Amino acid sequence: DAGVIQSPRHEVTEMGQEVTLRCKLISGHNSLFWYRQTMMRGLELLIYFNNNVPIDDSGMPEDRFSAKMPNASFSTLKIQPSEPRDSAVYFCASRSGTGNSPLHFGNGTRLTVT
């Protein structure tokens, strides 16, 4: 199994630009979580989906952030317009809906907004 795949691994952009982060779930998984990690705030949950439906987006910092699941195996997190304070490592994680299956994380996208 290829695991959760995130792209790009690194993204450097200028303030005001649109940024799209991508995540491919593990095949068969039906829950998807987006996290943001900074030194100051640690690992914060932004939003999570179950069966392609957003369940809780209370962690999304502002309307500039949006997340979608266009199909069962893929998700995007978009920031428009980006700001320097959005600089962080963004992780997505997926899990199977069965039993006590754990979260499986991707290796993250390091975003730098200048």
Selected from 42, 62, 63, 70, the binder of another protein by CB under 8 A is 42
> Shortest gap between Cβ of 48 and another protein (angstroms)?
7
Q: In this structure, what are the phi and psi dihedrals at residue 46, rounded to the nearest 5 degrees? A: -95, -50
Decide: is 50 part of the binding site for another protein (CB under 8 A). Answer: yes
* Min dist. Cβ of residue 35 to another protein (A): 8
Q: Which stretch binds another protein (CB under 8 A): 19-27, 65-73, 78-86, 106-114?
A: 106-114
Instruction: Find the part of the chain contacting another protein (CB under 8 A) among 19-27, 47-55, 60-68, 72-80.
Output: 47-55
Q: Give the C-alpha separation, 56 to 27, whole Å.
A: 22
- Sites for another protein among residues 69-98 (CB under 8 A): 91, 93
By 3-state DSSP, what share of the chain in percent is helix, strand and coil, each rounded to 5? 5, 55, 45
Query: Residue 103, exposed/middle/buried by CB under 10 A (0-12, 13-18, 19+)?
Result: middle
What is the 3-state secondary structure of 51-86? CCEEEECCCCCCCCEEEEEEECCEEEEEECCCCHHH
| Residues at the contact surface with another protein, assessed by CB under 8 A | 4, 31, 33, 35, 42-43, 45, 48, 50, 55-56, 91, 93, 100, 102-108
